[in-house]
Amino acid sequence: MSLAEQHPKEVEQILAKYPPEQKRSAVMPLLHLAQLQEGFVSHHAVQEIASLTDATETEVASIIAFYTLYHDQPGGRIRIQVCNDLPCALRGADKFLTDLCDKLGIQPGGTTPDGLVTVEAVMCLAACDKAPVFQTQRPGGIEYHENMTVEKTMELIEGFKNEEAKS
């Protein structure tokens, strides 16, 4: 189903934010909307967003490639994105990332065999006083998790598993 069919109100609200002759401004918010459904932006969504915004498919695809929060391939159903930039690294973020990956049996950038969790290192998340910190990206949105430990993270992952089992 297309974005416009599934979220007519949101699409209309997004387009209304910008001058009518500046539809291309809606590309980024529409990409966010598309990604909320599936966790990545499908080719079908790229085509639809291009036609909604009077942009070419190439232009829309170039936006996905430029900005790190957009994904054109599915990853784990939860992406755990750990900041290990300087201020966080000074407070143990590198060790946290390594320990978490060891616990899950994956390398940074890798996905657990069940396809549930991808762990990635990302650039500064603007929460340097609450390191170790990561954001989770999954269908439904982005969430910050601050002052984390490996134990707390494993509990969070268990919570995700239970949530999935219920739905």
Partner 1 sequence: MTYILLRHRDIPGINRLDVYEKNGGFQAWKNAVAKMKPEAVTEVVKNSGLRGRGGAGFPTGMKWQFIDNKNWPHYVVANADESEPGTFKDREIMEQNPFQFLEGVALASYAVGAHAAYVYLRGEFWQVAKFLDEKIAEMEAAGYLGEKIFGSDYSLRIHTHLGAGAYICGEETALLESIEGKRGQPRVRPPFPPSYGLYGKPTVVNNVETLANVPLIVANGADWYKSFGTADSAGVKIFSLSGHVKKPGNYELPFGKTFRHLIYECGGGLIDDRPIKAIMPAGASSSFIVADDKALDTPMEYAAVRTLGADLGSASVIVIDNTVNIEWVISKTIHFFKHESCGKCTPCREGTYWMWNLANHMDKQVKQHDVDLVYSVAKQMQGKCLCALGEFSTMAVTTGIERFPEDFGK
- Binding residues (CB under 8 A) for partner 1: these are 17-19, 22, 24-29, 31-32, 53, 55, 59, 62-63, 66-70, 85-87, 89-91, 122-131, 135, 141-144
Q: Which is nearer to partner 1, 87 or 110 (CB)?
A: 87
The distance of closest approach from Cβ of residue 165 to partner 1 in the complex, given in angstroms and rounded to an integer, is 25
Q: Toward partner 1, which CB reaches closer, 37 or 103?
A: 37
Cβ atoms within 10 Å of 102's Cβ, excluding its own = 11
**How many Å apart are CA 11 and CA 45, to the nearest integer?**
13
Distance of alpha carbon 74 from alpha carbon 76, whole angstroms: 7
Minimum CB separation from partner 1 for residue 79, in Å?
A: 12
For residue 129, give Cα distances in angstroms to 17, 80, 81, 87: 34, 19, 17, 8
CB of 87 to partner 1, least distance (A): 4
Please say which residue, 27 or 100, places its beta carbon nearer to partner 1.
27
Q: Which of 89, 42, 77, 67 is nearest to 161 (CA)?
A: 77
CA atoms within 13 A on the CB side of 57: 8
Nearer to partner 1, 1 or 65 (CB): 65
